[in-house]
Amino acid sequence: MSAFRRKRKPIGIDDINIIDNDKTKKAITAAALGNAIEWFDFGVYGYVAYVLGKVFFPNASPSIQMIAALATFSVPFIFRPLGGLFFGRLGDKYGRQHVLAITIIIMSLSTFGIGLIPSFETIGIWAPILLLIVKIAQGFSIGGEYAGAAIFVAEYSPDRKRGFMGSWLDFGSIAGFVLGAGTVSFITYLVGSESFIDWGWRIPFFLALPLGVIGLYLRNALEETPAYQQHSENQTTQQKPQKISFKEIASQHKRSLLVCVGIVLCTNVTYYMLLTYLPSYFSHNLGYSEDHGVLIIIAVMVGMLFVQPFIGWLSDKWGRRPFIFAGSFGLLFLSLPAFYLLGTDNEPLIFLGLLMLALSLNMLIGVMASTLPALFPTAIRYSALAIAFNVSVVIAGLTPALTAALVETTQDILMPAYYLMLCGVVGFITAFYLKETSNKPLIGATPMATSEEEAVELLEEFHDNLENKIEAIDQKIEELQEKRQKLADQHPKID
């Protein structure tokens, strides 16, 4: 015990990280821009899926074209866990900043590459094959992108503002989607529907390259996160650096992994349903014109941009769990009414239906980026989060293609609502098992503050928390000693 005490000194005021506000803003901007590029592609892909079906699968029926285009969107998600495993290990070993620079390069180039692929009429079967290869490369890089970006922001954020700071990461997601969808609508308006199908659809994909260059510049300009720097310093003082296998992660952090899977599954299924599948659903299944629901969805997404940081700010005051419960409640009880409204062909009612779905999604994504990194300690945070996140996304990524196939098979246009209701059940169960993480230091890291005054307050709270944990352990020891004594009293040779 004395040797253990010599290795660990008490945590004092000098150990509290005081985060420079400008650095935090730069970290959020750099991380959110990468997320924006990811969702820029999703926004573009969702809104040009009908065009891609004609360009890359011209010999199929319109229904099969749509399913094939959405399947090409979904298949690369299978490769995301491999990317998560690869980049997660690198992120825990070499740092978050270096890995995020690599992922944004691959992601930007692969999105840009989609616009370069010739049509089926030009190169035949190689056209859809090349599309699939580029999407797989994109999926592999994205496997390390969101987890790394969420960790990067969380490890740069003060404990009392982590919810608000983290909410800007998915602000980037929504902004990227809005930019992608808006770009498609704007280019279609400029060149006309026929020219857009011929060549105009390529332009939005080309825009990913300059966005990627800006993101790379911002990420290279940042330092490594304070939490990882502290972890690296601790590793260098050890004779044998800590190495943890994924088997050990799974056994020691089973609950955290399952909670992570539940949150991501519930959130991302809703994300892909609302942002990727619905544009095709409006035009193909409800028979609306291509731009009938598009502008309404964009308007709802713009509204989500304003709600998103507010949800994050409130979660720092009320906690993360209430919002996961609220979002899950919305999916379970409002999805069916929402889809009834979407089928009315009445724009105000369509807007109301989308608003109901969007608010449910806002509740979930408003807290996801601040909740997930807090589930794991610094040493394994990138590896564990990247694997759990991307395993969930594999299932969630099947949403557009699977929902399209279910609607086509059953001829039931309410099938997407049932799908979301099932996700609501998953969200409820997950929220029940989630331990509250707001206003607490990340596991394995010292408290982080914005000023010396706040640092003093955080240190007192940190010490109080330690005292409470020690008291709980002492009480447990006392209970075990009483239990032992009762058993020992029944044995003649044990005192």
Model pLDDT, residue 280: 75
Alpha carbons 33 and 187: distance in angstroms, whole number: 22
Mean pLDDT confidence for 117-123: 84
pLDDT at 4 over 90: no
pLDDT at 318 over 80: yes
Mean pLDDT confidence for 358-370: 93
Neighbours of 39 (CB within 10 A): 25
Question: Of 359, 360, 374, 386, whose CA–CA distance to 166 is shortest?
Answer: 374
Mean pLDDT confidence for 491-495: 76
Model pLDDT, residue 236: 65
- Whether the CB-CB separation of 149 and 28 falls below 8 Å is answered with no
Mean pLDDT confidence for 122-145: 84
Model pLDDT, residue 38: 74
- Whether the CB-CB separation of 474 and 480 falls below 8 Å is answered with no
Span of 252-261, 355-364, 457-466 with lowest mean pLDDT: 457-466
pLDDT at 365 over 80: yes
Model pLDDT, residue 357: 92
Mean pLDDT confidence for 415-436: 93
Most confident of 22-26, 213-217, 229-233, 409-413: 409-413
pLDDT at 315 over 90: yes
pLDDT at 118 over 80: yes
Model pLDDT, residue 427: 94
Per domain, the residue ranges of the chain are 20-223+250-450, 451-495
pLDDT at 275 over 80: no
- Give the fold, CATH level 3, of 20-223+250-450: Growth Hormone; Chain: A; (1.20.1250)
Alpha carbons 100 and 34: distance in angstroms, whole number: 8
Average pLDDT, the chain: 83
Model pLDDT, residue 449: 73
Q: Using a pLDDT cut of 90, give the percent of the chain over it.
A: 20
Most confident of 248-262, 294-308, 424-438, 440-454: 424-438
Span of 25-29, 110-114, 317-321 with lowest mean pLDDT: 25-29
Most confident of 35-39, 72-76, 382-386: 382-386
pLDDT digits (tens, 9 = 90+) for 183-192: 888 888 888 8
Alpha carbons 128 and 49: distance in angstroms, whole number: 13
Span of 57-61, 223-227, 381-385 with lowest mean pLDDT: 57-61
Model pLDDT, residue 23: 77
Mean pLDDT confidence for 344-352: 85
Model pLDDT, residue 312: 93
In this predicted model, which residue has the larger pLDDT, 440 or 292?
440
Mean pLDDT confidence for 295-323: 88
Q: In Å, how far from its chain's centre is CA 159?
A: 20
Local confidence band at 314 (pLDDT 50, 70, 90 cut-offs): very high
Model pLDDT, residue 240: 54
pLDDT at 17 over 80: no
Q: Which is it for strands 17-18 and 448-449: parallel, antiparallel or unpaired?
A: parallel
Mean pLDDT confidence for 226-247: 68
Local confidence band at 3 (pLDDT 50, 70, 90 cut-offs): very low
Local confidence band at 261 (pLDDT 50, 70, 90 cut-offs): very high
pLDDT at 158 over 80: yes
pLDDT at 265 over 60: yes
Question: Of 103, 227, 81, 151, whose CA–CA distance to 382 is shortest?
Answer: 151
Question: Of 151, 147, 92, 165, whose CA–CA distance to 392 is shortest?
Answer: 147
Model pLDDT, residue 6: 44
pLDDT digits (tens, 9 = 90+) for 219-233: 887 778 877 877 777
Mean pLDDT confidence for 343-350: 84
Alpha carbons 487 and 335: distance in angstroms, whole number: 56
Question: Of 79, 58, 78, 82, whose CA–CA distance to 69 is shortest?
Answer: 58
In this predicted model, which residue has the larger pLDDT, 402 or 13?
402
Characterize 100-119 residue by residue with b for buried, 16 or more Cβ atoms within 10 angstroms of its Cβ, and e for exposed: bbbbbbbbbbbbbbbbebee
